[in-house]
Amino acid sequence: MANANEADRLKQETGLQKLLRRPEIGSFAVMLVIIVALAIASEGKSFNALGLKNNIAIIAQYGIIATGAAVLMIAGEFDLSIGSMIGFAGMSMAMMLKWGLPFGLGEATPFLAFIITLAMTLAVGWLIGTVVVRSGLSSFIVTLGFLFFLRGVTEVSFRLINKSTQISGLPDYKEESWFANIMGGDVFGWFYDLWFMLGGNLNRRGEQWVEGFDARFLWWLVIAGVAYFILSRTQIGNWIYATGDNKEAARANGVPVNRVKIGLFMFTAFCATMFAACQVFDTNTSDAAKGNLMELFAIAIAVVGGTLMTGGFGSVIGVVFGAITVGLVANAVFFIPAIDGAWFRVFLGAILLAAVFANERIRKRITGGI
């Protein structure tokens, strides 16, 4: 009888009531407030041609890793090794580009360096997932161990090989490699061309100021779009939600829980590798310290975007809103010099706590208080 009454109540809801039950509604409201506040405080500078490019660049890099973290969290697991994976992947690519391939295989092209690095990171992702599902240990502990392991291996190995944990001065491969260009070049130039034609996007000499967005923006859209489609339109998406909601019930209903979890750990490794590749081919440098604390930002953005820490609940759209919110606030110090950069951490901590409470209330409204 209670279930029947709940079903009747849901049928009678208005469009606004259904909207307010969406998991990403809280992150959307916060995002709007931040956009308006930043536009006013920076006197529009944060959204001029260069400001928009810079904001989108940091939002996109947060969005790439937060998407991987969020989908894994929906399945009920965490990956604290994302940041270390970024440093490992970036240094691996940079080393191959600088010194060539080992064992006398010759020079590495950008595409080949990326493929070999991706194979290594996917293998590590598979290993992490296998340890988690076979041992029954908490993914928090397992990936915490890999956080230290990967960071340490990266620093020690490359200090021995390169005599330094930094690589700089790589050739600008974007000028000669199509792959390096689509990873580190500019995209959506038509947007800025149109802005210029309409009388904006001008520098002081009246020339076009900005040519396009950073390529990571395109890859964020692709990764988020594919993740959204899988979660909302495929059986795999149902498996992911079922695994995070109740893995034993999911397993009893034929869901390949272990394969789902291992696959998602590999997905977070893929997102970390894409993040690293965009950085390497954009800046022509790498550093073993890259990605430090990025795992915490990824999880924080996922939670701000409406993903529950306990699994089974969340959406990619909410993560997009969360990435925009956190990225704009992180970059605000460059447009409003009077703001102490430490206030970003204060904001992130406060909004994270608020999001946890809000997400739980929304979940209870959706599930009828279960």
- CATH code, domain with 288: 1.10.3470
Has residue 116 been placed in a domain? yes
Has residue 17 been placed in a domain? no
Which pTM value belongs to this model?
0.90
Has residue 196 been placed in a domain? no
Q: So what's the pLDDT on residue 10?
A: 47
Has residue 204 been placed in a domain? no
Q: How far apart are CA 29 and CA 197, in angstroms?
A: 33
Has residue 299 been placed in a domain? yes
DSSP letter at 211 equals -
- When divided into structural domains, the chain yields a total of 1
Q: How far apart are CA 114 and CA 276, in angstroms?
A: 10
What is the DSSP secondary-structure string of 298-349? Answer: HHHHHHHTT--TTSS---HHHHHHHHHHHHHHHHHHHH-TTS-TTHHHHHHH
Name residue 166's beta-bridge partners.
287
Has residue 184 been placed in a domain? no
Query: In this structure, which amino acid lies at residue 335?
Result: F
Q: So what's the pLDDT on residue 6?
A: 46
Question: Which domain, by its residues, includes 328?
Answer: 27-34+45-176+217-367
CA distances 203 to 49, 98, 198, Å, are: 10, 36, 14
Residues of the chain under the 50 pLDDT cut:
1-4, 6-7, 9-10
Q: How far apart are CA 309 and CA 356, in angstroms?
A: 8
